[in-house]
Amino acid sequence: MEKVLVVGSLNMDFAVYMERRPQAGETVMAQGMKLVPGGKGANQAYALGKLGAKTAMIGAVGDDTFGQQMLDNLEYVSVDTAGIKQIAGVETGKAFIEIEVSGQNSISVIAGANAAVDEELVLEQEELFAQADAVVMQLEIPVPSVIAAARLAKKHGKVVVLDPAPARADLPDELWAQVDITKPNETELALLTGLPTGTEEEVVTAAQALIAKGVKNVLVTLGGDGTLLVTAEQVEKFPAYKVKAVDTTAAGDCFLASFMSRFTGSNFAEAIDFGAKASAIAVTRQGAQTSIPTVEEVENFN
């Protein structure tokens, strides 16, 4: 995809690093904290830009310091931010992330300006849809806006990609019917379908339930167990790369963006492998956008 439009969220991440996350009522000493630009939409736009895809983004930030930092960071990797609205008197979205030494994390999100990404804001950027080859969306902005974006992308004959996170069970069939590619992990897939995903066979069955709703291709990321591609015609598994994880924040965002940076419309094996390499590198680094590798790093990874 030479030109990709991302419609989604922008958050400033407050990343706290600790030995383990506290239990209810417990206090745990942390080793440190970093402020890192994040948000699923911004992470994917940043990764696409850094990996060489011509990228634009639609979203919203506040008129605060964090909002300007988010815009500056995207523009640093040549992302077109003209579709990102700065809203007066509103705070930029924030995410509070507790990260264990194992790399696993827990995330709490305050929507802030992301809640203002309404259908009107999406529709007034129709020219960006017309210029793109693919439109990538997530679920950290209002669902009606995601549906409007999918509908507008289809109107212009674009590839529609949905990262269904944070996952929810009430997504309408109208949205699924417009999706060409979706990328849940096994936990998200269970929430989306109401079906168990404890085994690989169950994952395939749940993915096929999305196919039945009209989705053309389901990419299920299984962490260290690789990625499953499920379509109406096939099921194929692709391996992951074994690394020591430091921070898994934005690993899925990195995978999807790097996959899209190489995807031509049919070369799933090549694009998935590129995504697997990029996300393997990302989890060995701290932070969201700070963990994204360069094209050269991915191509030289083995």
Which residues have a catalytic role annotated? 253
Q: How far apart are CA 138 and CA 146, in angstroms?
A: 8
C-alpha closest to that of 86 among 61, 56, 59, 113: 61
Q: Is 275 annotated as a binding residue?
A: no
Which residues touch 238 (CB under 8 Å, ≥6 apart)? 226, 227, 228, 229, 269, 272, 273, 276
Q: Which residues of 16-35 are buried (b: 16+ CB within 10 A; e: fewer)?
A: bbbeeeeeeeeeeeeeeebe
**65-76 vs 40-50: helix axis angle to the nearest 10?**
30
Q: Is 249 annotated as a binding residue?
A: yes
**200-212 vs 186-193: helix axis angle to the nearest 10?**
50
Q: Is 194 annotated as a binding residue?
A: no
Q: Is 247 annotated as a binding residue?
A: yes
Q: Is 83 annotated as a binding residue?
A: no
Q: Is 59 annotated as a binding residue?
A: no
Q: Is 170 annotated as a binding residue?
A: no
Q: Is 140 annotated as a binding residue?
A: yes
Q: Is 226 annotated as a binding residue?
A: yes
Q: Is 42 annotated as a binding residue?
A: yes
Contact predicate 107/99, CB 8 Å: no
The end-to-end CA distance of the chain, in Å, is: 24
Q: Is 302 annotated as a binding residue?
A: no
C-alpha closest to that of 301 among 293, 99, 178, 82: 293
Q: Is 116 annotated as a binding residue?
A: no
Q: Is 41 annotated as a binding residue?
A: yes
Q: Is 133 annotated as a binding residue?
A: no
Q: How far apart are CA 133 and CA 43, in angstroms?
A: 19
Q: Is 223 annotated as a binding residue?
A: yes
Q: Is 118 annotated as a binding residue?
A: no
Q: Is 222 annotated as a binding residue?
A: yes
In the annotated binding site for ATP, the residues are 185, 221-226, 252-253
In the annotated binding site for K(+), the residues are 247, 249, 282, 285, 287, 291
In the annotated binding site for substrate, the residues are 11-13, 39-43, 140, 253
In the annotated binding site, the residues are 11-13, 39-43, 140, 185, 221-226, 247, 249, 252-253, 282, 285, 287, 291
